[in-house]
Chain A
């Protein structure tokens, strides 16, 4: 198992180098000059411009710049933001818990609803639950996120006044961040109603962000289940006189889970990308919003570092998925 893990870890290296290369070059391909952007409307003198060029190392050949960047990354130095002058690393981890909290909750929402929906649809293939769930899933998958978000806000926040429109918690509450996760912090603070407020703020963003993963998971679970349900061992399980709940929920689902968690792993990447839109709509102070702002400011280190860290997160999730395969189906462990 350890050998398998290390072997998988080794395949990270090329991916990692690729990610740094892409994030480094793409931001530089965008038209616009970070120093000009920094100067703003007033502009700056030739000498000042050249001095800054030298300070940031932009006068060096591009390969040398990349090499310097890579050396920094290997040593854990992602550079400083041009705008705030704070280390990218610190900024990222100050904002990341907000995104992580949102993403985890959205994923839990998607899995908790998507898995049962897929199983029920597969077991009742062609009947009403199947058609109903799969139609809803298709609509959910096809709906533009921002429109869906606005619709929910209009109904639940506007008309019904049930949920807040933006932010992570009511302004009434203030406490220091210990973990960065509002749900945990609000509980730790011991303030009455703080946790409830945090939950209420999460509901709409979680639904919006979780809708597409939910639809994908439901459809994937259904198709994987359909394939598994025609297997011989399902017939054996039924011949043993097991209840349909055991046959479908344990014997079939466990085998169907492999393609499903593959999709879940891949969805994490989509989720972090989707978070950018969701965070913007709900003014959620996470890395999505931070990244978008940095791109407009041509804040090279932030964009590079942020992209890389997100990529690493996605890689870690997918490694976890790979390891999970072996736990779910021991037959895979052998290879």
Chain B
């Protein structure tokens, strides 16, 4: 039984100008101890999908799914109270902006201990010791002193470490990292990623890493799910994905990596992710796809079999056509 199974998840926002579909039939399956990366451009619905799962979306959002199960429990069936018992304990989440994700009014120790009190019911002394232990675990020097420090007195990297300490406080079985390194300096990015993968290895928790950085994906993930305009367009193990991408979007994303550039100018994908008003009727990627024809523009493509990376494409690129291309 997979740890997390989500089938056909759809999230719609009610806006002043009508409904907007941010996630459109997405699937996620994560086994215990798995590291799944979800990649895609800004606006492809990666974060919204995770927030929907956590129940963090505002009331304007409508979430529907065929299956949304964590460890055999149907998340949609849980009462809000039962769901809260799961959030922050078995499923934890860290966010993109460490500086604004911590409450400026409370010191670091308070915010970590709060999670411990909520879910584990430790007494004061135990909470204190566990908090020190956690700060140590995420590599914050002189942890005892750091407990009394406020977020504005720490750097972004340190704050993200605090966020991670807070997330792993109750030994979650699934950690969702929503662009954990995007707001950080490059040197710090590597440290934080190392920390996350190290923690994942030590604790055996599953991890979903949301990112738009293919470099981060290559370094950390085992499986990659590529998302575009609210749909999963491809999913493969990381090495296979980098070797033989099947969806033209994945292909284009990889081609845009500086390390892979063969020409003087870095190849780009022209245009942006379709929004509320310019959603194509056929394949969502067709307006930007170099391979698209009339079929692509008129009919939504079906999902291809596993051998073709579940690519949602009429003409998936196979290893062979890539060679001839």
Contacts and interface: CB of A to CB of B under 8 A. Distances in A.
Contacts of A236: 95, 101-103, 163, 166
Given A243-B84, A330-B150, A233 B103 contact: yes
A243 B79 CA distance: 13
B88 A235 contact: no
Given A232-B95, A241-B86, A255 B114 contact: no
B73 to A, nearest CB: 15
Nearest to B58: A230
B101 A235 contact: yes
A235 B102 CA distance: 10
B104 interface: yes
A329 B95 contact: no
A237 interface: yes
A198 to B, nearest CB: 38
B104 A329 contact: yes
A240 B102 contact: no
B75 interface: no
B87 interface: yes
B101 A232 contact: yes
B89 interface: yes
A200 interface: no
Interface in B101-144: 101-107, 114-115, 118-119
B56 A239 contact: yes
Interface residues of B, number: 29
Output the residue of A232, A233, A237, A251 with the most chain B CB within 10 A.
A233
Nearest to B163: A236
A48 interface: no
A19 B46 CA distance: 60
Given A232-B97, A334-B152, A242 B118 contact: yes
Interface in B72-107: 84-89, 92-93, 95, 97, 100-107
B221 to A, nearest CB: 22
Contact of B103 (A239, A241, A251, A334): A251
Contact of A241 (B51, B97, B107, B119): B119
Interface of A is mostly: helix
Contacts of A239: 54, 56, 87-88, 92-93, 95
Contact of B88 (A240, A254, A328): A240
Contact of B118 (A241, A255, A331): A241
Output the residue of B86, B93, B97 with the most chain A CB within 10 A.
B93
A231 interface: yes
A330 B86 contact: no
Contact of B87 (A241, A328, A334): A241
A253 to B, nearest CB: 10
Nearest to A234: B103
A56 to B, nearest CB: 55
Given A232-B95, A235-B56, A331-B152, A242 B104 contact: no
A143 B260 CA distance: 71
B57 to A, nearest CB: 10
Interface of A: 231-233, 235-243, 246, 251, 254-255, 328-331, 334
Q: Which 6 pairs of residues, A with B, have the shortest CB-CB distance?
A: A241-B88, A240-B88, A241-B87, A232-B100, A233-B103, A241-B84
